A and B are shown apart, each in its own frame.
Chain A
Amino acid sequence: MPKSKRSEPLDHRKAEGIKMQQGGGSDTEVTWEDQQNINKFGRLNNRFHELEDEIKIAKETCDNLEDASNELILTDEEVVRFQIGEVFAHVQKDEVEGRIEEMKAVTSEKLENLKEEKESVLAEMAELKKILYGKFKDSINLEED
């Protein structure tokens, strides 16, 4: 007669923040709706990490553009070497200023949108956490480690 296995938290999983734990042999059944909620949480979590990376890059771009326009103000050259594609074209300072302003506007709008999306993703994840913890309590772990 095989000995009963000791309680061990199940580590098969690793769905980036989702862990089904051994609930002491408890029998909370997982329905298709639960599974869909779990899937959705996983997807949102992935998107959240992607957004964090994208936000970081957008912030850096914003900072660089800010530095560039500051440098422009300080310089007394009339012609600036402005990168277009892989080459540095000689462009009039005024035109460069205009271009940089435009790029700054585009990037900050992008940054705003990313931040908004991140907020909404976090809110949805919080909702799902309530639902899933509500049903499964200790049998599920939705935290980052």
Chain B
Amino acid sequence: MAASSSSTAADSSAMVTERRGIPGAQFVEDVQTYLTQSGLDVQSALAFFQERLQQYKVVEMKLLAQQRDLQAKIPDIEKCLEVVATLRAKKGTGEELIADFEVSEGIYSRARIEETDSVCLWLGANVMLEYSVEEATGLLQKNLENAKASLEVLITDLQFLRDQVTVTQVTIARVYNWDVHQRRIRQATATTAEDS
């Protein structure tokens, strides 16, 4: 039993041990070996896994919140790009753009937007900067790409996290089952000893 324990660690090398601060869940090849190796009794092992599961849940909440934020931000940037594109299209036609905009909830006012070479972009933190239409398009495009890239990374993080959660849950079930199995065996041997 002791001899096989060293090879178990090598077998799990197909797994990533952690990703961007999220600890990987070690796959248990054999429950008996794991318990002997770690020196834990069943209760402690189960408690450890449960705690890990809680930690994973916390991280999952955080990542989901970030994902929601990004998913809201992306359509916003796309809308801005659309407006800038419309303004750019109007340039050179000599026409004004007439638009109804919301002054307050349910109250709209009409605006006449003349041909323009520049737009102002809200950068956050009470800062608004004037850009040429081309620069604005470039900046918004870059922001959009960054947001999409961050979302990709986030989604991969979440997938990794969910995998670790699944592995941990399966391990908990296996350790628990193994324990019940052991108790049954002990019970059976005890009764046969009594009968004989």
Please list the residues of chain A having a beta carbon within 8 angstroms of any beta carbon in chain B.
1-2, 4-5, 7, 10, 12-15, 18, 20-23, 25-27, 29-32, 35, 38-39, 42-43, 46, 81, 84-90
CB atoms of B174 and A88 under 8 A apart: no
CB atoms of A85 and B173 under 8 A apart: no
For the complex, count residues of B whose C-beta is within 8 A of A: 40
Give residues of chain B (1-50) contacting chain A, Cβ–Cβ below 8 Å: 11-12, 14, 27, 29-30, 50
Question: In the complex, what distance in Å separates the CA atom of A1 from the CA atom of B163?
Answer: 38
Main secondary structure of the interface of A (DSSP, over half): loop
CB atoms of A90 and B98 under 8 A apart: yes
- Chain A neighbourhood of B91, CB < 8 A: none
Question: In the complex, what distance in Å separates the CA atom of A87 from the CA atom of B102?
Answer: 7
- Chain B neighbourhood of A13, CB < 8 A: 169-170, 172-173
- Beyond A86-B102, A88-B100, whether A10 also contacts B176 by CB under 8 A is yes
CB atoms of A32 and B169 under 8 A apart: no
- Chain A neighbourhood of B98, CB < 8 A: 89-90
Task: State the Cβ distance, B160 to closest chain A Cβ, in Å.
Answer: 10
Question: In the complex, what distance in Å separates the CA atom of A4 from the CA atom of B181?
Answer: 9
CB atoms of B173 and A10 under 8 A apart: yes
- Chain B neighbourhood of A87, CB < 8 A: 83, 99-102, 111
CB atoms of B183 and A2 under 8 A apart: yes
- Chain B neighbourhood of A43, CB < 8 A: 159, 162-163
- Chain B neighbourhood of A22, CB < 8 A: 173, 176-177, 180
- Chain A neighbourhood of B172, CB < 8 A: 10, 12-13
Besides A32-B12, A43-B159, 14 other CB < 8 A contacts? A13-B169, A15-B165, A18-B166, A20-B173, A25-B177, A25-B184, A30-B170, A35-B170, A42-B163, A84-B86, A86-B83, A87-B100, A88-B100, A89-B99
Is B131 interfacial (CB-CB < 8 Å)?
no
The residue on A at minimum CB distance from B90 is A89
- Chain A neighbourhood of B100, CB < 8 A: 81, 87-88, 90
Question: In the complex, what distance in Å separates the CA atom of A86 from the CA atom of B180?
Answer: 62
CB atoms of B169 and A14 under 8 A apart: yes
List the 5 shortest-distance A-B pairs measured between CB atoms, nearest first.
A20-B173, A85-B83, A25-B181, A90-B98, A87-B99
Tell me which of B82, B159, B183, B190 contacts A5 (CB under 8 A).
B183
Between A and B, 29 residue pairs with Cβ closer than 8 Å are A2-B183, A4-B186, A4-B187, A10-B172, A10-B176, A10-B177, A15-B166, A20-B169, A20-B173, A22-B177, A26-B181, A30-B170, A32-B14, A35-B170, A38-B166, A43-B163, A81-B100, A84-B79, A86-B79, A86-B101, A86-B102, A87-B99, A87-B100, A87-B101, A88-B99, A89-B86, A89-B98, A90-B97, A90-B100
CB atoms of A85 and B27 under 8 A apart: no
CB atoms of B82 and A42 under 8 A apart: no
Task: State the Cβ distance, B185 to closest chain A Cβ, in Å.
Answer: 8
Question: In the complex, what distance in Å separates the CA atom of A38 from the CA atom of B165?
Answer: 11
- Beyond A13-B169, A81-B100, A88-B100, whether A32 also contacts B177 by CB under 8 A is no
Task: State the Cβ distance, B90 to closest chain A Cβ, in Å.
Answer: 9
